[in-house]
Structure formats: structure tokens, C-alpha cells
Amino acid sequence: MKSSTLSDTGTSSAEHIAARDLIKADEILRLSAKKMILLRQGHSPAVVSKIRYFEDKEFAGLFAPAP
């Protein structure tokens, strides 16, 4: 945030930088069970919907059942 002040003696300006964690622990804990955080090298993190391939008919037959 930048601010400037004008007075009889001139103008002064200041810049204030406020930072916070990208995502806080409590925000992660509040994510729906149907959501996840996707981390890929060279890309920004993204909140995405999980695909439950074993329940989705579109993925039927594309995976081997657990032994």
C-alpha cells in the first residue's frame, strides 16, 4: 500500500508491504473432502476437485482393482 502526504514543506510518500502465509493451516483443514491442493513444480498451487475414479463410470475399466 502506498500513501503520500502533502504539507507546506513538501510531499512525502511511504510504502507499506504486508505479507501473510499463502494458505493458513486452518484454511487447509476447512477444505471440503472433495477438494485438494495440487502442487506442481513450476506452477502455482491450485485448489481442485478430486476425481474418485473408482466411483466414476467414465473411468470404469481403466484401473486394476487392489489385490
Residue 4 has pLDDT above 70, yes or no: no
Q: Domain for residue 16, yes or no? A: no
Average pLDDT, the chain: 83
pLDDT band at 22 (very low <50, low <70, confident <90, very high): confident
C-alpha cell of 35? 477438494
> 59 near 51, Cβ under 8 Å?
yes
Residue 45 has pLDDT above 70, yes or no: yes
Q: Domain for residue 8, yes or no? A: no
Please state the domain count of the chain: 1
Q: Domain for residue 28, yes or no? A: yes
Q: Domain for residue 40, yes or no? A: yes
pTM, two decimal places? 0.51
Q: Domain for residue 11, yes or no? A: no
d(CA 51, CA 30): 19
Q: Domain for residue 12, yes or no? A: no
- The range of the structural domain enclosing residue 44 comes to 21-67
Residue 57 has pLDDT above 80, yes or no: yes
Q: Domain for residue 7, yes or no? A: no
C-alpha cell of 59? 473411468
d(CA 12, CA 3): 9
Residue with cell 487392489: 66
Q: Domain for residue 15, yes or no? A: no
Q: For residue 2, which of 19, 20, 18, 14 has the smallest C-alpha distance?
A: 14
